[in-house]
Amino acid sequence: MRSFLTKRMIQTLVVLVGVSLITFFMMNLAPGDPFMMDPEMRMNPEAVARWKELRQLDRPLHEQYYSWLVNLLKGDFGISLIHNRPVLELITERLPATLLLTGTSLLVALLFAVPLGILSAVKQGTFLDKWISFFTLCGVSLPNFWLGMLLILLFAYHLNWLPASSLRTVGVAASFYDYIKHLILPVVVLSTGSAAYYIRYIRAGILEVIGQDYILTARAKGLKESTVLFRHILRNSMIPVVTVVSLSLPFLFTGAMVTEYVFSWPGMGRWIIMATLSRDYPSVLAVNVIVAALVVLCNLGADLLYAYFDPRIKYR
C-alpha cells in the first residue's frame, strides 16, 4: 500500500508540473495580451511597456515560468494581472458561493439518484422504470442554459415566486430562508443533469450485479429482500458510481460556468471565464493546477474506495 501511495504521489507531481507547463505556454502563445482588455492603453505604448515591466512580463517566458514555480512551492499563486491582488485571495472570495451551489447540487442529485436508480433497476421494465428512464433521458439532453432560462421565465417572471439572479436579496437582512429561495432554481438546473447521469450508472451497476450467482444464493438462503439489496447488490454495484462521483468532485471547485452566468451566481465560474478572456495568466494557471491536483487526489480516493467496496481489489 505504501509503495502504491508513493508511486501515486510521484505521478501527481509529474502531472501537476506538466499541467502547469502546458497551461503556461499555451496561454502565452495564444493571441492577445492582458493589457488589451483596456484598448485605450494602445494609445501610450510607453505606458504599456512600463505596465509589463512592473509585472515582469517583459522577461523571457522560461524565466517567468521558473519564477512562478518557485513561488508556488512557497504557497504563493502570484498576483492577478487584472485585479492586482493575490490570486489566492480572489479564489477564496468566490469559492464559498461556488461550493454552496455545487455542493448542494451534488447532494440533491445523489439524494434523488440513489433511490431512483435502485427503483429503476429493481422494477426493471415496469411503468416506473420507463418513467424514470424518460426523466433521465430528458435530464441528460436538456442544456443547462436552456433549462435555466425556462425556469427563470416560469418561476421568476410569470409566477414571480423565486428570484431570477444572485444568491441573496440585497438590502434586506440575510436569512437562511432567503438563501434557500435563491438556491432552488440553480440547484434544480445543476442537479437535473447530474442526477440523470447517476441514475443511469446506478441502474446499470445494479442490473449487472442482480443476475450474479451469489445474489441467487443469498436469496436461496432465505435472506430478506432488503438485506440482499443493500448488503449484496448495492455495495457491489457501487464501483462505477464511485468513479463517476469522484471524477465530478474537482468540478465542485471550478463551479458551473453556464449556470453561474444564467443565475448571476457570484462564484468561480464567471471569474475563470473572465480570467481566461483577459489573459490573466497567474489566475488561469492557479485554477488549472488546483483542478489538476483535485482530479489526481479524487482519483486516488476512488481507487482506495474500490478496495473498500470490492475486497478482491488489492494495491501493492
Partner 1 sequence: MARKIFLLLLALMLMLSVLGCTPEESPQEQLRVASLGSPVNLNPLFIRDNFSFEVVSLVHASLITFNNETLEVEPSLVKEWSVEDEGRTYVLNFNDNAKWTDGTPLTAEDAAFTLRVICHPDFTGYQYALFFNAITGSQDYHSNHNSPLADGSIEGIEVIDENTLKISLDRQMAPFLTYLNFFPLPAHIFGDVPVAEMEAHDYSRNPEVTAGPYILNQWVTDEYLYFVSNPDFFLGQPEIDEIYFRIIPNQEAQLIELINGDLDLIPTAVKLEDVEELEKNPNIKIYSNLRLVYDYLGFNMHNPESPLYNKEVRQALSMVLDREALVRDILLDYGRVAYGPLTPLHFPFDENFQAYFVDKQKALELLKDAGYDEGFELRLILNAGNEVRENAALMFKEAAEAIGVEVTIQTLEWQAYMEAAMQGDFDVIISGQGSDPDPDLTFNWHSQSPLNELGYVNEEVDSLIEEAAVALEQAERTMLYREAQEMIVDDAPMVWLYYREAVHGASDRLMNFKPHPNNVFYQVHLWKFK
Binding site for partner 1 (CB under 8 A): 30-33, 36-48, 50-51, 54, 79, 82-85, 93-94, 97, 127-128, 131, 149, 152-153, 155-157, 159-172, 177-178, 180-181, 184, 261-264, 266-267, 270-271, 274, 277-279
Helix/strand/coil for 53: helix
Report the first-to-last Cα separation within the chain, whole angstroms.
5
Closest approach, Cβ 299 to partner 1, in A, equals: 31
| Closer by beta carbon to partner 1, 262 or else 296 | 262
> Dihedral of the CA atoms 312, 307, 243, 240 (nearest 10)?
30
Residue 34's contacts (CB-CB under 8 Å, 6 or more residues apart) are 57, 81, 82, 278, 279, 280, 281
* Contact assessment for residue 110 and residue 171, using Cβ atoms and an 8 Å cutoff: no
Nearer to partner 1, 4 or 135 (CB): 135
- Helix (H), strand (E) at residue 150: helix 144-151
Name the residue nearer to partner 1 (CB basis): 248 or 276.
276
Cα(15)–Cα(136) distance, rounded to whole angstroms?
A: 35
Which residue lies nearer to partner 1 by CB, 101 or 298? 101
* Minimum gap (Å) between residue 110 Cβ and partner 1: 19
Work out how close the CB of 157 gets to partner 1 at its nearest, in angstroms, rounded to a whole number: 5
CB-based burial of residue 176 (10 Å sphere; 0-12 exposed, 13-18 middle, 19+ buried)? exposed
Q: How far is the CB of 90 from partner 1 (least distance, A)?
A: 8
DSSP secondary structure letter of residue 56: T
Which C-beta is closer to partner 1: that of 182 or that of 232? 182
Provide the grid cell at 114: 440513489
Nearer to partner 1 by C-beta: 10 or 180? 180
Nearest approach, Cβ of 294 to partner 1 (angstroms)? Answer: 22
Per DSSP, helices labelled H in 176-265 are: 176-210, 213-220, 225-227, 235-236, 239-248, 250-254, 257-262
Q: State the nearest-atom distance from the C-beta of 309 to partner 1, in Å.
A: 31
Q: How far is the CB of 260 from partner 1 (least distance, A)?
A: 9
Q: Radius of gyration of the chain from Cα atoms?
A: 24
CB-wise, 3 or 160, nearer to partner 1? 160
